[in-house]
Amino acid sequence: MKRLYAKIAASLLSLVFYSNYAQQDAQYTQYMYNTISVNPAYAGSRGVMSIMGLHRSQWVGLDGAPRTQTLTLNTPIGDNERLGLGFSVVNDEIGPTDETYFGIDFSYTIPTSEEGKLSFGLKGGGHLLNIDFQRLTQFNANDNLFEANIDNKFSPQVGIGVYYHTDKFYFGLSAPNLLETDHFDESTTSSDSDAISFLAEERINYYLITGHVFDLSDDVKFKPAVLGKLVFGAPLQVDLSANFLLYERLTLGAAYRWSAAVTGQIGFQISDAMMIGFAYDRETTELGQSQFNDGSYEVMLRFELFKKYNRMLTPRFF
């Protein structure tokens, strides 16, 4: 039992400090509904005002496990729908850290064919970091590193992205934040500056997303999709998903996060304006076998306004 507790504690500690050192963005299973958070060029691409809220609880049952809340809005601007505007707020909690991201997205779209559109996006925003060292069990009470908490440490963010799509296919490349920032408490009295700079170091997160919709019949659509995320200093993340849309209402799917987790997904289009989604992850690592880990849960709600445009896009999962 002691060995099990030690493994759990080591996993959480490594997640807290490794995440803060290599600083990865928040993780999502239902990323296909949350593209605006990682690619500013997505803004306005659905042709309607789209508002999405998402909550994720990861590794339920483990104290200090990650919890993420996301709120996004994006809409086209003007009659020709070439300009897009987006807004996003993300709150990410893990262990003693609490981070808030907020950004404004702008996109410009160029038609490349009768069906294809290529969008370029720019994101501007900021990041607030809080670290409460009192939530940690300190083995050395006199360690200067943990004397002062970090409160609302601000850093600016600038991101870019490109996004190509038709009614059946999409492909995007993006980097939501190009600025690498070291977070540490300058009032810390430690003489070793390298020892305090590791607390949180922003790293560039590179994203690749792609997917294609196949019409299996008039009432059944199938969409395989891939999300890849690269952060230097952290393992490559690859999510492979397969979703079925039945009667343009019910979505059923499964996904595999490479060497990390398997996922089940379900979504329902309640009305033309409202959709709800749910996902459950189960770790394939040793941590997933722990009796203290009940898996990860995501709940998503999307609301879209169609009155201005008098039309609804063919449901396409993206």
**How much is the pLDDT for 236?**
87
Average pLDDT over residues 46-67: 88
294 has a pLDDT exceeding 90 = no
The DSSP letter of residue 135 is G
CA 241 to centroid of chain Cα atoms: 15
Q: Cβ(151)–Cβ(181) under 8 Å?
A: no
- Count of beta carbons in the 10 Å neighbourhood of residue 213: 22
b/e sequence 279-307, b meaning 16+ C-beta within 10 Å: bbbebeeebbebeebebbebebebbbeee
Indicate the pLDDT class of residue 73, thresholds 50, 70 and 90.
very high
Among 124, 158, 164, 157, smallest CA distance to 42 is for 164
State the distance between the two ends of the chain, measured CA to CA, in whole angstroms: 45
199 has a pLDDT exceeding 90 = no
Average pLDDT over residues 70-78: 93
Residue for token digits 């997205």? Answer: 105
**How much is the pLDDT for 171?**
96
Angle at 167 between CA 33 and CA 212, to 5 degrees: 65
β-pair type (67-77, 49-57): antiparallel
Tokens at 92, concatenated: 């990410």
Q: What residues contact 153, with CB distance under 8 A and at least 6 apart? A: 128, 129, 130, 183, 185, 200
Indicate the pLDDT class of residue 195, thresholds 50, 70 and 90.
very low
Least-confidence region, from 34-38, 46-50, 96-100, 133-137: 133-137
DSSP code per residue over 75-134: EEESTT--EEEEEEEEEEEETTEEEEEEEEEEEEEEE-SSS-EEEEEEEEEEEEEEE-GG
Average pLDDT over residues 140-166: 81
- Burial class for 184, CB neighbours closer than 10 Å (0-12, 13-18, 19+): buried
Average pLDDT over residues 44-55: 92
189 has a pLDDT exceeding 70 = no
Which range, 106-120, 185-199, 289-303, has the best average confidence (pLDDT)? Answer: 106-120
Whether pTM exceeds 0.85: no
Which CA distances in Å does 116 have to 49, 121, 153, 166, 315?
Answer: 20, 17, 42, 5, 17
**How much is the pLDDT for 279?**
94
**How much is the pLDDT for 317?**
63
**How much is the pLDDT for 124?**
96
79 has a pLDDT exceeding 70 = yes
pLDDT tens digits along 204-232: 899 999 999 999 999 999 999 999 999 98
Average pLDDT over residues 264-281: 93
Angle at 89 between CA 88 and CA 90, to 5 degrees: 120
Indicate the pLDDT class of residue 137, thresholds 50, 70 and 90.
low
Percent over 90 (pLDDT), the chain: 49
- The residue ranking higher by pLDDT, 5 or 35, is 35
SS3 47: coil
147 has a pLDDT exceeding 90 = no
Indicate the pLDDT class of residue 197, thresholds 50, 70 and 90.
very low
